[in-house]
Amino acid sequence: MAQRQTLDSRFRGNDDCLMSGQGCAGKPFDPVAVPEHFRNATVTSPQYSPATIPGMMTRRLRVLMLSDVYFPRINGVSTSIETFRRDLHHHGVDVTLIAPDYQLEDSVENIHRVPARKLPFDPEDRLMHWDKLRTTAHGLAHKQFDVVHIQTPFAAHYAGVRFARKHGLPVLTTYHTHFEEYFHHYLPVVPRPLLKATARGIARGQCNGLNAIIVPSRAMRDTLRGYGVHAPLHVLPTGIPVERFRGGDGAAFRAKHGIAAERQVGLYVGRVAHEKNIGFLLEATLHMRALNPNFLLVVAGEGPALNGLRQQAKQLGIEDQVRFIGYLDRETELPGCYAAADVFVFASKTETQGLVLLEAMAAGVPAYAFAEMGTKDILEPLRGAVIAPQDAPGFAAGLHALLQDKPRLQTLSQEALAWADEWSAPQRAKQLAELYASLKLDHQP
């Protein structure tokens, strides 16, 4: 019992622990792996260091992960799951994932697909059939899991909690999405204050029933605290495989898509959804046309807002300044896309982290973006990034000045590469493995 209490003190109520440079026992992590922005956080100093916890395990940890979304559906949640799932294997953790069946994907070991139907207001997403979901989870009980990790708050949440309670397992979630800023885009007939109150109430009720909550940024931690969430909150961003985004052939990408070598490109990569505020980027592009007719906004992605944005570009008369190029393969096409850009532009105000900013920086592309919610942790150190004004004329003026300053762009590019290295994926997986181990040890009878 004394040992579990010590481990408990290491994690519970110590929500800056995983992101601090002091480890969780006064011993430093690899300084390259922890962003300098977080190194001055105050932490407690319990008896055990992070390195001792995996040694207390007598076998590899087994984690059941459940999500209402995963590849081939492309978004930040899918990317986070895959990044952690791959790297956790090297830190003594075997992950089994339950996710929707999109009827497009190949069979992959330890990924179990559940029949699902399309959502009428968002056909990219799926709702798993409840009975099939429960049956799938029940059929995996023989694997003797140690921890249940929920990734989304819909059917996966309730199935995950049910499974954990039935088998006496600790259960945690990663809170990826700032839902109170999303719902009004998809349910416009419902009063916005009611939607916000509903989203906050659901989040509070779900989170307070769990052993731990992971949040990818300090802003999201503070938001959940404001909701009344009192369960332990741990700030642990998703890391990025920086090497994946380097070495892209920008010239070949430009040639393939008919973009002249001398044309200046502002790039957006991500889901083309209403909450991403891409319409603002179109308005800023209208102002950019007067300052720099050679500027091109490239939008890489698809989603429910695409048709409306095409129409908006037409109405603004900027069809020659905007190129919608759809989804790109992350392995074969996306690195070249990043390499083809002069700057990465981003206007979302709802991100819990903003992984695409780090992807662009890993490719050496400076970010020009709003510092809102989770993007603050990435942007506010001003390493490889410029914080953009939030009015379209000001955004355009700042972007134009940046693109004209070649020495500054070069400096920002080098800073971006170094900053992205400090968000490496393997170290994040190590920290998550330590949290899993602590929850298992704390939960033992």
The helix or strand, by DSSP H or E, that contains position 126, with its residue range, turns out to be strand 122-128
What pLDDT shows up at residue 264? 98
Count of domains observed in the chain: 2
Phi-psi region for residue 402, left (φ > 0), alpha (ψ -120 to 50) or beta?
Answer: alpha
The amino acid at residue 401 is A
Question: Which burial class, exposed, middle or buried, applies to 390 when counting CB atoms under 10 A from its CB (0-12, 13-18, 19+)?
Answer: middle
Residue 215 has pLDDT above 50, yes or no: yes
For residues 205 and 213, is the Cβ–Cβ distance under 8 A? no
Angle between helices 76-88 and 355-362 (to 10 degrees): 70
Hey, what amino acid is at 61? L
Structural tokens at position 285? 């592009």
The one-letter amino acid code at 280 reads F
pTM of the model: 0.81
The band of 94, judged by pLDDT with boundaries at 50, 70 and 90, is very high
Mark residue 126 as left, alpha or beta (left: phi above 0; alpha: psi -120 to 50; beta: remaining): beta
Residues 82 and 43 in one domain: yes
> CA 243 to CA 196: how far, in whole Å?
39
% of the chain at pLDDT higher than 70: 85
Do strands 147-150 and 367-369 pair parallel, antiparallel, or not at all (unpaired)?
unpaired
The closest of 190, 379, 347 to 274, measured between CA atoms, is 347
Contact 414, 303 (CB under 8 A): no
pLDDT tens digits for range 385-398:
999 999 999 999 99
284-341 pLDDT tens trace = 999 999 999 999 999 999 999 999 999 999 999 999 999 999 999 999 999 999 999 9
pLDDT of the residue at 46: 32
Q: Are residues 416 and 428 in the same domain?
A: no
* Beta-ladder partners of 300: 269
pLDDT over threshold 90, residue 445: no
Q: Is the pLDDT of residue 9 over 60?
A: no
Compute the average pLDDT of residues 6-32.
36
Sequence-distant contacts of 51-58: CB under 8 A, at least 24 apart = 51/27, 53/7, 53/434, 53/437, 53/438, 53/441, 54/91, 54/92, 54/433, 54/434, 54/437, 56/437, 56/441, 57/92, 57/437, 57/440
The CATH number given to whatever domain includes residue 277 is 3.40.50.2000
pLDDT of residue 70: 96
Q: How many CA atoms lie within 13 A of 138 on its CB side?
A: 7
Rounded average pLDDT over 140-169: 98
Q: CA angle 319-324-327, nearest 5°?
A: 175
Residue 193 pLDDT exceeds 50 = yes
Percent of the residues in the chain that have a pLDDT greater than 90, as a whole number: 77
pLDDT at residue 233 is higher than 80? yes
Same domain, 228 and 263: no
Alpha-carbon gap, residue 324 to 307, rounded angstroms = 10
pLDDT tens column, 348-378: 999 989 999 999 999 999 999 999 999 999 9
For range 253-271, the mean pLDDT: 97
pLDDT value at residue 22: 36
Q: Where residue 31 falls among pLDDT bands split at 50, 70, 90?
A: very low
Whole-number Å distance between alpha carbons of 186 and 181? 10
By residue range, what is the domain housing residue 263?
A: 242-421
Whether 222 and 354 share a structural domain: no
Of 121 and 1, which is predicted with more confidence? 121
Q: What pLDDT shows up at residue 394?
A: 98
Same domain, 360 and 221: no
User: What average pLDDT is seen over the chain?
Assistant: 87
- Pairing type for strands 233-235 and 147-150 reads unpaired
**Helical segments of 12-154, H only:** 52-55, 76-88, 130-138
Do 138 and 213 share a domain, yes or no? Answer: yes
Task: For 64-76, write each residue's pLDDT tens digit.
Answer: 999 999 999 888 8
Do residues 66 and 184 share a domain? yes
Contacts of 341 (CB under 8 A, 6+ apart): 250, 265, 266, 267, 298, 360, 365
- What pLDDT is stored for residue 13 in this prediction? 38
Span 415-444, average pLDDT: 94
The pLDDT value recorded for residue 127 is 96
pLDDT at residue 30 tops 60:
no
Weakest mean pLDDT among 20-24, 112-116, 122-126: 20-24
Q: Let me know whether 333 and 223 are in one domain.
A: no
Per DSSP, what are the bridge partners of residue 387?
369
Distance CA(411)–CA(182), nearest Å, equals 36
Both 372 and 252 in one domain: the answer is yes
**pLDDT of 105 above 50:** yes
Judged against a pLDDT cut of 60, whether residue 5 lies above it is answered with no
Question: Are the beta carbons of 394 and 412 closer than 8 angstroms?
Answer: no
135 phi, psi to nearest 5 deg: -65, -40
Read out DSSP for 285-299?
A: HHHHHHH-TTEEEEE
- The continuous run of DSSP H or E covering 354 comes out as none
Query: Do residues 6 and 64 both lie within one domain?
Result: yes
213, 207 contact by CB (below 8 A): yes
Q: Is the pLDDT of residue 44 over 70?
A: no
Query: Is 357 in the same domain as 215?
Result: no
* Residue 59: band (very low, low, confident or very high) from pLDDT cuts 50, 70, 90: confident
Lowest mean pLDDT among 16-25, 37-46, 65-74: 37-46
Residue 298: left (phi > 0), alpha (psi -120 to 50), or beta? beta
Give whole-number Cα distances, 358 to 75, 279, 423, in Å.
14, 22, 8
Q: Both 224 and 289 in a single domain?
A: no
Mean pLDDT calculated for residue range 179-204? 81
Over residues 97-120, mean pLDDT: 91
Mean pLDDT of 11-32: 37
**343 near 364, Cβ under 8 Å?**
no
- Helix H segments across 208-305? 218-227, 250-256, 278-291
Q: Does residue 136 surpass a pLDDT of 80?
A: yes
Does the N-terminal peptide bond of residue 188 adopt cis geometry, omega within 30 degrees of 0? no
Q: Where residue 45 falls among pLDDT bands split at 50, 70, 90?
A: very low
Could you tell me the pLDDT band of residue 86, with boundaries at 50, 70 and 90? very high
- Which residue's structure tokens are 């070949």? 252
Q: CA neighbours within 13 Å on the CB side: how many for 186?
A: 16
